[in-house]
Amino acid sequence: MSLVTRAPAHSPEVDRRAARRGALYVAEYRLRSMWKWRRSIITDGLGNPILYLTSIGLGVGSLVNANLGPTGIDGVPYLVFLAPALITAAAMQGVMNEIMFPTLAGFLWDKGFFAMRATPISGGQIADGLLLAASARIVFTTIVYWLVLLAFGAVGWSSALTLIPVAILAGLSWGAAMLAATANVKDDSGFISLAMRIVIMPMFLFSGTFYPLSSLPLAVQWIGWISPLWHATELGRWLSYGMAMPPWQVAVSLAYLLGLGALGLIIARRRFERRLTS
Amino acid sequence: MISASGLTKRYGNFTAVDGIDFEVARGESFGVLGPNGAGKSTTMRMIAATLLRTSGDLTILGKDPSRAGPAIRAHLGVVPQQDNNDAELTVRENLYVYGRYFGLPRSYLKPRIEELLAFAQLEDKRDTKIDTLSGGMKRRLTIARGLINDPEILMLDEPTTGLDPQARHILWDRLFRLKEDGATLVVTTHHMDEAEQLCDRLVVMDRGRIVAEGTPASLIREYASREVVEVRFGSDHNAEIAPLIADIGERTEVLPDRILIYTETGEESLQAIVARGFSPVTSLVRRSSLEDVFLRLTGRTLEDE
């Protein structure tokens, strides 16, 4: 047994494949890590919708419906109004776990990105691979959420092909934005809790999640306008129960989500590359 | 395999590596020796094609790392100063995942991992999560990982720093086997004994520059005498007594805690000191080492800084 003779596997063809498929290898690694957390991912995926739908959907919903009648908000029962917002929020929350923690770990905690960087993989491919693997979590979370919504009668079968893709798009877009935001963090003390308090909570509360954005004072409505959650929720409501939405607004919301995702990924790639080569 | 000339890395006004020249040939074990902050790790990262140089020429495996980074890295094995294995994965998974980054197929990796587990003496630990491994085991895993792609050059940054003596000797034994197998090694270290054990040839770096180059033996011959007498008179007296015995050896170095006298015949020199009526608190006669070379070249000990 010789440890340093050249192995037949080490051909130029292998080199080229490695350079081309770097993002897939990073995603493969991430999925392997996520698999170790499968119990908490499944618990989270199922527990989150059940808790929200029971407490707010049914609990608050019975109040709303009692006050405004069964066609309470926007001409539909409260649960139906709420469903698109909740599934989108879940997709966005789920993706953060698979973006922020691995990014901080890779750059700061166990410095795994520097190990990857010593192979043919580039910084940009690491960013791509993280988002690719995170999208698996988004798809899982979204489908489970949708099934629970279906069980609660909050959505119909036909929404499978509309609501699920919108939630996945929101998750990906938000994931890319978080990837760019986390890529430059040098000191992780409090970054995650700060992000939660200053960005996530206000976004969740002020994006027309629990009531139409228009019922808020104009002074805080802007939070909704810049929030990907609001744009995705509007699209979801339009698609799932036919909420009135002018075509230009559909176009703006769609472009906003696509643009945020694309810009996030471009910035993230650049930051990963720079941080790993300087 | 590696050729550098005028290799320079600047960070703003700070010059980490200041125009160095060196060559490494196939099968050679090349050492970069120097204290912390000498520019060793920066040099290593430039060779590893993970840090772009500011100026100068650098060719690795016939390619320019600024243009052919991935193609060069495909044939390097890198063992960083700080172990960066994945704490959530087992020993075997760490090797497997890393091999995948090189695009290596399962059919190659399976037997290769078995080979490397045997080499790193980690067969019993294959399914252990790595956070329960000892420091020495983690280090051996990192070295095994660096070999997964059957690299043409294995680069080791401070391979045994922070390990206990027994773990260091196990590691040296493993690295020595690689050397016997014909591996090309590039090793940085600030431990003299490590450089003497592992390196065929080395450069001494200080403040970003190469201050000497040669085999360990030739460096000792050139920059130190055959033997050294170390005498201690207590920190208050060393500086006072040193001039009075300076003529006994070829050269004298006064350190805060001891006086070093460079001489061809240590025992005779020590007798001469005692004959003059000085009685050191402790005394030691030893062969010169790279530590002495470094002291001579830089006026500082390696453990300083």
pLDDT greater than 60 at residue A204: yes
Residue-averaged pLDDT of chain A: 89
Which residues from chain A sit within 8 angstroms of residue B69, using beta carbons?
Answer: 122
Which residues from chain A sit within 8 angstroms of residue B151, using beta carbons?
Answer: 4
B185 phi/psi in degrees, rounded to 5: -115, 140
Residues A28, B100: C-beta atoms closer than 8 Å: yes
Min Cα separation A29/chain B (Å): 6
Residues A121, B82: C-beta atoms closer than 8 Å: no
Higher pLDDT, A168 or B178: A168
Q: What pLDDT, on the 0 to 100 scale, is given for residue A233?
A: 96
Contact B129, B90 (CB under 8 A): yes
CB atoms closer than 10 angstroms to residue B37: 15
Q: How confident is the model at residue A95 (pLDDT cuts 50, 70, 90)?
A: very high
Contact A43, A142 (CB under 8 A): no
Q: What pLDDT, on the 0 to 100 scale, is given for residue A9?
A: 55
Residues A110, B85: C-beta atoms closer than 8 Å: yes
Which residues from chain B sit within 8 angstroms of residue A17, using beta carbons?
Answer: 103
Secondary structure in 3-state letters for chain A: CCCCCCCCCCCHHHHHHHHHHHHHHHHHHHHHHHHCCHHHHHHHHHHHHHHHHHHHHHHHHHHHHHHHCCCCECCECHHHHHHHHHHHHHHHHHHHHHHHHHHHHHHHHCCHHHHHHCCCCCHHHHHHHHHHHHHHHHHHHHHHHHHHHHHCCCCCHHHHHCHHHHHHHHHHHHHHHHHHHHCCCCCCCCHHHHHHHHHHHHHHHCCCCCCCHHHCCHHHHHHHHCCHHHHHHHHHHHHHHCCCCCHHHHHHHHHHHHHHHHHHHHHHHHHHHHHHHC
Q: Using CB atoms, pick whichever of B70, B84, B149 lies closest to residue A10.
A: B149
Q: Provide ipTM, 2 decimals.
A: 0.84
> For residue B168, which of B178, B176, B159, B177 has the smallest C-alpha distance?
B159
Residues B84, A21: C-beta atoms closer than 8 Å: no
Q: Using CB atoms, pick whichever of B74, B86, B93 lies closest to residue A112.
A: B86
Q: Give the pLDDT confidence of A30-70 residue by residue, as tens digits.
A: 999 999 999 999 999 999 999 988 888 788 888 887 887 76
Q: Is A221 on the interface with B (CB under 8 A)?
A: no
Q: What pLDDT, on the 0 to 100 scale, is given for residue A11?
A: 72
Q: What pLDDT, on the 0 to 100 scale, is given for residue B77?
A: 94
Q: Give the pLDDT confidence of B135-152 residue by residue, as tens digits.
A: 889 999 999 999 999 899
Which residues from chain B sit within 8 angstroms of residue A25, using beta carbons?
Answer: 100-101, 103
Chain A interface mutation, best of B46, B102, B141, highest count of A Cβ atoms under 10 Å: B102
pLDDT greater than 70 at residue B242: yes
Q: Give the pLDDT confidence of B150-196 residue by residue, as tens digits.
A: 899 999 998 888 888 888 888 888 888 888 888 899 999 877 788 88
Strands B153-157 and B251-254, bridge-based pairing: unpaired
pLDDT greater than 50 at residue A247: yes
CB contact residues (below 8 A), chain A span 34-73, against chain B = 36
Min Cα separation A143/chain B (Å): 27
Residue of A nearest to B130 (CA): A110
Q: What pLDDT, on the 0 to 100 scale, is given for residue B271?
A: 85
pLDDT greater than 50 at residue A99: yes
Report yes or no on whether pTM surpasses 0.90.
Answer: no
Q: What pLDDT, on the 0 to 100 scale, is given for residue A1?
A: 44
Task: Pick from A239-248, A264-273, B202-211 the range whose average pLDDT is largest.
Answer: A264-273
Range in B35-49, B104-118, B136-150, B290-304 the model is least confident about: B290-304
Q: What pLDDT, on the 0 to 100 scale, is given for residue A264?
A: 97
Q: How confident is the model at residue A7 (pLDDT cuts 50, 70, 90)?
A: low
Which residues from chain B sit within 8 angstroms of residue A277, using beta carbons?
Answer: 50-52
Residue of B nearest to A26 (CA): B101
pLDDT greater than 80 at residue A166: yes
Residue-averaged pLDDT of chain B: 89
pLDDT greater than 80 at residue B101: yes
Range in A57-71, A235-249, B280-294 the model is least confident about: A57-71
Q: What pLDDT, on the 0 to 100 scale, is given for residue B95?
A: 96
Average of per-residue pLDDT across A198-223 = 87
Contact A143, A167 (CB under 8 A): no
Amino acid of residue B126: R
Average of per-residue pLDDT across A235-251 = 93
Q: What pLDDT, on the 0 to 100 scale, is given for residue B305?
A: 42
Residues A3, B97: C-beta atoms closer than 8 Å: no
Q: Give the pLDDT confidence of B13-60 residue by residue, as tens digits.
A: 999 999 999 999 999 999 998 888 889 989 999 999 999 999 999 999
